[in-house]
Structure 1
Amino acid sequence: MLFATSLLISFALQTYAHYLTVPVDYTVYKNGSETFKFQNTVYDNKDSFIKEIKKKLPDVPLNSLLIEVNSGYCKYGSSGIESLNKFVIVTLNYPSNCIYMPKSEVFIQISSVKNKLKYKCNSNYFNSYISANQCMKDIKVFDKFKSQEKLLGNDFFGKIVWHSIWKKCYYKCFTGSNFKELIGRLLIELNRYRESFQLKPVVLSYTLYVSAFKFAKKMAKNGKEFYIKYKKIPMLGVFNVIYKPFGSIQMNKWYTQFLSLKQSNHVLNKVEKKNLNGLFSRHTTKVGFGVVMKENHLYIACMYK
Structure 2
Amino acid sequence: MKIGITLGDPAGIGPEIILKTAPYIKHMNNVHIYGNKRLLRKTAFDLGLLHEYEELRETLVDCGDSITYRYGKPTKTTGRVALQSLNCALKAQVDILITPPIVKDVIRYHIPNFTGHTEYLARHFNTKNYAMVGLWHTKRIMLVTTHMPLQHIFKHVTQRAIFEKIVLLNWGLKRYFSVNMPRIGVSALNPHAFEFSLGEEEKIMRAIAQARQSKINAEGPHPADTLFDRDLDGFLTMYHDQAMIYLKSKNNGLNFTLGLPIVRLSPLYGAALDIAGTNTAEVSGFIAAIKQGIKLHRNARRYDRKNV
TM-score above 0.5, yes or no = no
TM-score for both structures, normalised by structure 1: 0.29
The structure carrying a bigger strand percent of its residues is 1
TM-score for both structures, normalised by structure 2: 0.28
| Greater C-alpha Rg | 1
